[in-house]
Amino acid sequence: MLVIAGYLILSISIMGGFMGGGGHPGVLFQPFEFIIIIGAAVGAFVCGNSMPVIKAAISQATATLKGTPYNKDYYLELLLCFYAITNKTRKEGLLSLESIIDDPKNSSVFTPKILQDHHLLEFICDNLRLIVTGVEVYVLEELMDQELETHHEEAHAPVKAIQNLADGLPAFGIVAAVMGVVHTMESVGIPPSELGKLIAAALVGTFLGILLAYGFIGPVSAVMAERTEAAGNVYKCAQKGLLCCAKGVSPAMTAEYMRTMIASTMRPGFLELEEQLRANKG
């Protein structure tokens, strides 16, 4: 919602200032300039990225119009999930985790928000399976570090694609403007009033390229990067929980280790977490 609000503020400020200064908004409507800029940008975007990256970039870009899924409630459910896992391990042993791993969707351990995050659920279950097999803690940590590094690189590919798109838009705006100037120069014999319209149309190309880059596409890339980092922190938090499980750390301390890794704006308070744990026990 903040993205939409930002777009509205941006549009109202620019158009309001332009019209307040006596400008006519109709002169900014230059569909052929728009076609040149958008068409060239989309073509370069398709040319420079693989299909999986294109699909992921479009999906993540449209998702920025919604609120982030990684909030305090999400982290609270993650902490409760690992508390339940480590508690089950302590009471029933590591082999009791097999039922959770084999059928996570029907397990009471995983909460709705965790079940909806298929990649995180797979990450947790795969590494729990390794823990059950008796893997050494240092080996488990190394394997998870490698997986998270790969995930980090893969997750940033769509962000980079959108950022490259934003970086290229001003240049394509200049291309449209230059083509407009070329058209103006070949029409130099027409009346000044008509010539002025052609010059204005050419300048609109530069305006659109810069506006789309820094006002619309660039901010989306920034939001995508922020959410990618937030998702990465969720995985690091889950990694800490898995390591605690492998080391035999108590359920309460596992939740506390994980809680301290959460950003202060989304971190559940100590008493808040304790109340939730008591409620779950009840």
57 inside domain? yes
81 inside domain? yes
The CA-to-CA distance between both ends of the chain, in Å, stands at: 37
173 inside domain? yes
162 inside domain? yes
Number of domains in the chain: 1
Q: Are 236 and 148 in contact (CB under 8 A)?
A: yes
18 inside domain? no
14 inside domain? no
126 inside domain? yes
**What phi-psi label fits residue 154: left (phi over 0), alpha (psi between -120 and 50 degrees) or beta?**
alpha
Q: What's the pLDDT tens digit per position in 206-253? A: 889 999 999 999 999 999 999 999 999 999 999 999 999 999 899 889
Band (pLDDT 50/70/90 cuts) for residue 142 is very high
231 inside domain? yes
- Domain housing 164: 26-281
Q: What's the pLDDT tens digit per position in 56-66? A: 999 999 999 88
- Cα–Cα distance, 179 to 190 (Å, whole number): 18
Band (pLDDT 50/70/90 cuts) for residue 281 is low
Read off the pTM: 0.86
